[in-house]
Amino acid sequence: MGLHIAPDRSAEAPIIEFREVGKSYGVFKVLDQLSFSVKPGEHLALIGPSGSGKTTILRILMTLETVTSGNVFINGVSLNREQKNGRDIPASEAHLRKMRADIGMVFQHFNLFPHKTALQNVALAPVLTGRMSKAEAKDRAIQLLDKVGLANKADEYPSRLSGGQKQRVAIARALALQPKIMLLDEITSALDPELVEEVLNVITDLRNETDMTMLLVTHEMGFAKDFADRVLFFEQGKIVEDGPPSELFHSPHHERTKSFLRKVIAAGQRV
Amino acid sequence: MQNLDATIGYGRFILSGALATVELTIFSCALALLMAFLAGLALLSRSYSIRAVARIYVEFFRGTSIFVQLFAAYFVLPLVGISLTPVQAGVLAIGLNGGAYGSEVVRAGIQAVGRDQTEASIALNLTRWQAMWWVILPQAVVVMLPSFGNLAIEIMKATAVASLVTVSELTFQAQMVRSQTGETAIPFLLILVTYLVIASVLTALVRLLERRFSRGTAGA
């Protein structure tokens, strides 16, 4: 017989936790005592006006930025501090590399390696990080390029690809390291409008087919609504509102969320 | 036609000088390239002391005369027990001097590669050295090559100073011909052309490398 118990997400330990994180550049506070956590497999959309700190959150998770105060935990392990000989010290390069292993990122401007073909862009890191042999990495890269619809562009250099194709190669490249957390930083903002859809379709497939935890920073409210299980609305480095997309987009509680959405709709976006 | 015979005679003499110049150029360029990368990378080090050592090397060799450096290598080093042949002293001085200029080319070339490439490398969990070797340097070299071409020609021309410590390279041989035959126009015209030929070969070589390294970056 056996009793089937549905997994209870609320009881699961968070995969990401920000605990009173502050980040400033000089006197400018980007993040202000920010606390939130993300459960494994959650699809989070981070929205808000420019400069509200959304991208900084992704960059801190990718260890491209350090925090000014507070702590970030991945699976309960501190990202920015480590324990060595019983002392609490800033994370070393070795610690950061271990933590990065579970995290992948796709950038607004693709950041492809221009001197490498699409295939080489995808296969490089799995080989260099010692996860796969060259032959395995190549096979895997071909599979991934096929998945993003670019198997026929494997041997092209990025300069010969359209923006949408470049971004799909970048997604394949990030997937090659099989991350548990995927960070998507305004991945369609640099694209011509007619190329946005092909990239978003790839992301929708990933969302539906994998159990990756995904954090999406975006200005595409329509897509955020379809993509996310949960939306965080940021302003001035703080979370103003946190809820499911149906609630946040259709009956927001906060006046600032309302006025932000009004502006977005006025600018012609569907919500 | 006695003049022609004489010209052919010291033509051979000058050819041997040309070979010495080529030899000096190759070894000096090799040393300069090595020093350029060592010092160039050191100038970008996270460690203050490594940066300081590199900066002192660069400023010392750029800021003092290559003649003095050569004389120091040939006449002063023996005082501390290091005796060099004239060619070794020449290569050491010219190579270290060229390396000092080259290090700034390396530094600037590396810095010309966008920060986005470093960030992508971090996101792909490459080590700093992997990122440098596989991502940054291949792109930086494309930027560096034209300046390296200039530098190689500068080094080739600077090899003439080695004549001052009796290396029988082109300029030295031309002086010999002049002092022994009294001819001035022909020997100097000959070495002028020879320098030009060597420079053209260097230029062609660098062009070849530029094409080889610019794959992907220029729509190739």
Residue A243 has pLDDT above 50, yes or no: yes
- Residue ending a domain, among A158, A178, A198, is A178
Residues A185, A95 share a domain: yes
Residues A189, A78 share a domain: yes
Residues A215, A170 share a domain: no
CATH code of B42's domain? 1.10.3720.10
Nearest Cβ partner of A113 from B128, B135, B220?
B135
Confidence of residue B89 (pLDDT cuts 50, 70, 90): very high
Q: Is residue A82, in this structure, part of any structural domain at all?
A: yes
* Tens digits of residue pLDDT in A216-233: 999 999 999 999 999 999
Residue B207 has pLDDT above 60, yes or no: yes
Per-residue model confidence (pLDDT) at position B135: 97
Interface test with A, best of B46, B121, B122, B124 (most A CBs within 10 A): B124
- 3-state secondary structure (DSSP) of residue A251: coil
Residues A153, A227 share a domain: no
* Count of C-beta atoms within a 10 Å radius of residue A234: 24
Asked if B1 contacts B64 with a C-beta cutoff of 8 angstroms, the reply is: no
Q: CA Rg, chain A, in Å?
A: 19
Asked if B125's CB is within 8 angstroms of A97's CB, the reply is: yes
Q: Is residue B198, in this structure, part of any structural domain at all?
A: yes
Q: What's the predicted TM-score (pTM) here? A: 0.87
Q: Which residue of A has its CA nearest to B213?
A: A115
Amino acid at position A80, single letter: N
Residues A132, A53 share a domain: no
Residues A160, A208 share a domain: no
Q: Which residue of B has its CA nearest to A173?
A: B124
Q: Is residue A6, in this structure, part of any structural domain at all?
A: no
CA dihedral A209, A215, A221, A224 (to 10 degrees): 30
Asked if B32 contacts B50 with a C-beta cutoff of 8 angstroms, the reply is: no
Residues A201, A118 share a domain: no
Residues from chain A that touch B216, judged by Cβ atoms under 8 A, are 114-117, 157-159
Q: Is residue A208, in this structure, part of any structural domain at all?
A: yes
> Could you list the residue range(s) of the whole structural domain that residue B67 is in?
2-213
- 3-state secondary structure (DSSP) of residue A83: strand
Per-residue model confidence (pLDDT) at position A48: 93
Which residue has tokens 């923006």? Answer: A163
Give the number of domains in chain B.
Answer: 1
* Tens digits of residue pLDDT in A130-169: 999 999 999 999 999 999 999 999 999 999 999 999 999 9
Residues from chain A that touch B116, judged by Cβ atoms under 8 A, are 107, 109, 111
Q: Is residue A214, in this structure, part of any structural domain at all?
A: yes
Nearest Cβ partner of A125 from B125, B219, B220?
B125
Contact pairs from chain A to chain B, CB under 8 Å = 71
Question: Tokens for B10?
Answer: 């010291």
Q: Is residue B218, in this structure, part of any structural domain at all?
A: no
Give the number of domains in chain A.
Answer: 2
Q: Is residue B219, in this structure, part of any structural domain at all?
A: no
Asked if A74 contacts A16 with a C-beta cutoff of 8 angstroms, the reply is: yes
Calculate mean pLDDT across residues B81-95: 95
CATH code of A190's domain? 3.40.50.300
Q: Is residue B220, in this structure, part of any structural domain at all?
A: no
Q: Is residue B113, in this structure, part of any structural domain at all?
A: yes
Residues A245, A226 share a domain: yes
Output the 3-class SS for chain B.
Answer: CHHHHHHHHHHHHHHHHHHHHHHHHHHHHHHHHHHHHHHHHHHCCCCHHHHHHHHHHHHHHHHCCHHHHHHHHHHHHHHHCCCCCHHHHHHHHHHHHHHHHHHHHHHHHHHHCCHHHHHHHHHCCCCHHHHHHHHHHHHHHHHHHHHHHHHHHHHHHHHHHHHHHCCCCHHHHHHHHHHHHCCCHHHHHHHHHHHHHHHHHHHHHHHHHHHHHCCCCCCC
- Residue ending a domain, among A140, A160, A178, is A178
d(CA A162, CA A226): 25
Residue B219 has pLDDT above 50, yes or no: no
Asked if A129's CB is within 8 angstroms of B126's CB, the reply is: yes
Question: Tokens for B196?
Answer: 């030009």
Residues A196, A242 share a domain: yes
Per-residue model confidence (pLDDT) at position B12: 82
Backbone angles phi, psi at B15, to 5 degrees: -60, -40
- 3-state secondary structure (DSSP) of residue A36: strand
- 3-state secondary structure (DSSP) of residue A120: helix
**Biggest alpha carbon–alpha carbon distance for chain B:** 75
Asked if B123's CB is within 8 angstroms of A107's CB, the reply is: yes
* Tens digits of residue pLDDT in A34-52: 999 999 999 999 999 988 8
Per mean pLDDT, which range of A138-152, A206-220, A253-267, B191-205 is the poorest?
A253-267
Per-residue model confidence (pLDDT) at position A86: 85
- Residue ending a domain, among A155, A178, A201, is A178
Per-residue model confidence (pLDDT) at position A2: 47
Q: Is residue B144, in this structure, part of any structural domain at all?
A: yes
Per-residue model confidence (pLDDT) at position A183: 98
Asked if A97's CB is within 8 angstroms of B139's CB, the reply is: no
Q: Which residues of A touch B (CB under 8 A)?
A: 62-64, 93, 97, 100-101, 103-105, 107, 109, 111-117, 124-125, 128-129, 157-160, 173-174, 177
The more confident residue out of B13 and A225 is: A225
> Could you list the residue range(s) of the whole structural domain that residue A55 is in?
23-102+180-271
Q: Is residue A252, in this structure, part of any structural domain at all?
A: yes
A13: left (phi over 0), alpha (psi -120 to 50) or beta: beta
Confidence of residue A5 (pLDDT cuts 50, 70, 90): low
Residues A267, A185 share a domain: yes
Q: Is residue A201, in this structure, part of any structural domain at all?
A: yes
* Tens digits of residue pLDDT in B168-193: 889 999 888 888 888 888 888 989 99
Residues A148, A50 share a domain: no
Residues A117, A98 share a domain: no
- β-pairing verdict for A81-84 and A87-90: antiparallel
Per-residue model confidence (pLDDT) at position B220: 39
Asked if A111's CB is within 8 angstroms of B119's CB, the reply is: yes
CA atoms lying within 13 Å on the CB side of residue A162: 12
